[in-house]
Amino acid sequence: METKYSFRMKSDAQGVVKIKTTHPHGYSYVRPYLLSTSKERLPEDVSFRVVKGKRWTDIVVYYESEGRNFYSQRFIDLLNRFVDMSRFSYPIKIENTDLTYYAIYNLPECTFLNRKASFLKPGTTPCFDLHENMPNLFSLEGTNLRVCSHEVKDAIEKAKLTNVYISEVFGLTNEESNPINEENSVILGIDMR
């Protein structure tokens, strides 16, 4: 078992900026582009506007979907120390601000082993299929979870990035994820059967 870390916006943050698209078709139009594993960037004509909050933090969120996050220049610069973020991020347009925020896209995916259990049971820890040479930044299949290495997590904490919540996720080998191995289900709070 190998521990990795997921990062996202703090759900209890007060007064943090939330943005929404100005596109006439709204969220349904931009949604597929805002997944961290999407292979396509938002079209050039898509922009955003602030609809709630006044506090700009290192992570801001899409107003209608807590899982759709945008990252400050400072956050992207930090990630760039570990991964070439020019391949995995691009700036978005936010009206009436000079600040630059980025969407993350095109991340490599790992198989999410306990998607059903982790989304249905509170306190359940997500697990993924552990491969050799895991990148410093990736996503879990079919989710918008951004997962990073221990080194990236430490850098985020040391930099004191604002509005960032970090939680553990676990990479399991084939043997560890085998449903016959009851010990994993007890340790991780999941039912692999």
pLDDT at position 87, please?
95
pLDDT at position 124, please?
62
Element (H, E) at 147: strand 146-148
Burial level of 69, CB count in 10 A (0-12/13-18/19+)?
buried
Token code pair at residue 4: 């990795």
How far apart are the C-alpha atoms of 47 and 43, rounded to whole Å? 9
Instruction: Name residue 18's amino acid.
Output: K
Burial level of 159, CB count in 10 A (0-12/13-18/19+)?
middle
pLDDT at position 140, please?
85
For each of the chain's 193 residues, which pLDDT tens digit applies?
888 899 988 877 789 999 999 999 888 899 999 988 899 999 999 999 999 999 999 999 998 777 789 999 999 999 999 999 999 999 999 999 999 999 999 999 888 787 665 554 555 677 878 776 788 999 888 788 899 999 999 999 999 999 999 999 888 777 776 653 444 444 444 443 3
How far apart are the C-alpha atoms of 137 and 29, rounded to whole Å? 26
